[in-house]
Structure 1
Amino acid sequence: MNTLKSTFLLVLLTVFLVLIGDYFGGRNGMLMAFVLSVAFNFGTYFFSDKLALSMYRAQPVTREQLPRVYAVIDRLSARQNLPIPKVYVIPSESPNAFATGRSPAHASVAVTNGILNLLDDEELEGVLAHELGHIRNRDILTSSIAATLAGAITIMARMGYWASLFGGYDGRDDRDRGGFTGLLMLILAPIAATLIQLAISRSREYEADATGARETGNPYALARALQKLDNYSRRIPLQASPATAHLFIVAPLLGSGGIANLFSTHPPVKDRIHRLIGRDLV
């Protein structure tokens, strides 16, 4: 299923770029957009994880540097028959983590300094089990592609908007119509990118929570970790891109509830805790 989702997202990216190229540049624009889409698809498949890691200045760490994390990952990976992922640390005091990569054999797990300082060993194990759950469920490629696709849609919308103000890439002078259409794209494209993220993110978090709780046999530890991460992320927000917000275990860009929850890339933490232990934490 996740392979189909990944293929769908790559096809969607191609169609989107080609249509934008045709509208603003005619046949030449369509050809240019098609070449660009091929490059995007290649780069997205092979390098989307590296882009996400570099965006947050994540640095690889060795077993000697972070034995606490490697001990947990070794144990959980062996239990699930998974290859050992690469481990990265993000230099941020905001507590969070994410997994990325195109397959279990090319997976990486990134944790912030903040999460290492905040959680006890059982809670950290729950978080890492959650991230390995994403790897085991093979949705890390889908989420990485969605991050790149969301960014590409937003960038192309802005390019289209500015092109429309100057008559299009092929010199066609229809600025009134083009300017309105470009402005409409600038508004709608980020919404489309958000809807793509929403379509793949919320159910993924529930599934990874369930996998993590099952593999550790301790749903209460993961529930406690989620509660801590939610509370401390509000106090020390992570400076994150909306295009990659769905990668993290808790949303780095937090709304104030209500309508904001409809456009969140994550289910409410309270709901996730209820699914894990059947009640609120005391």
Structure 2
Amino acid sequence: MTGTVGPLEGRVAVVTGAARGVGAAIARDLWSRGATVALLGLEEPGLAAVRDSLPGRARCWEADVTDETAMAEVADDVRRQLGPVSVVVANAGLAEGGPFAESDPATWRRVVEVNLIGSAITARAFLPQLRATRGYYLQIASLASIGAAPMMSAYCASKAGVESFAHALRAELAHEHVGVGIGYLNWTDTDMIRDADRYAVLRELRAHMPRPARKVYPAEFVARRMGRAVERRSAAAYVPAWLRTTQWVRAAMPPVVTAVSKRVLPGLERRSPFEATGLLGAGGRADAVGRRHPE
């Protein structure tokens, strides 16, 4: 009995933020489905480690997704080395926490630049190839795209932005048969989330969420759902699946979040004064180092 050929067999897939966490897990999942994977990110050693774990069908490029010139060059190089791209997963992202008024303006801006502007630059760089292949663009978003939370203003603003961007892009490209999907993720077991739990304000805020909403999911579990969405060219994919129901009540979420925050935040601040976290996780530290010491 011969195996069936999957829809990604022989296709070229690009994943940004692929050196670690969700990006690395998605790259591995797409590779397991037969794709040749182009790994993009800032951390060359991490990218190389992921590449080496995917023998024969993976290469890596070190690039900042907010650098338009670099991303255009990478897109051309991927096409020359691997062939035209059929899938792009815009996953690269940063997060920081703490009160908006006390946040570092440059750090706050950088989160928005990477998460929102970096996604748009990624799409712009690879759209000519996606048009040629009638491919699929998957934008990694978040529960934060649907319902904003206090102490995460930059992250929530940027993720709401990428959701809106993906909706607009889908409408623009539908007649060209280019698919655009949105991956809505909740808490995922990455170094970014583990780092967030070191800060009392973010740890306590997650603890006050309803029990299902504060569960943390393994990156590999999330990646399998995203890989399935890519194969199906889904307009939306939710991890966990119940997250879809938040779309039905999203208009009611801001006043509820405000009421809960008004009640909970004063007590949290008395126990532990709020402070800005800076960029979270190893990816955030790598981004900060890369900007201090550009090549």
Short-chain TM bin: under 0.3
TM-score by length of 2: 0.24
Q: Which has the larger radius of gyration?
A: 1
With normalisation by structure 1, the TM-score equals 0.25
Give 1 or 2: higher helix fraction: 1
- Which is richer in strand? 2
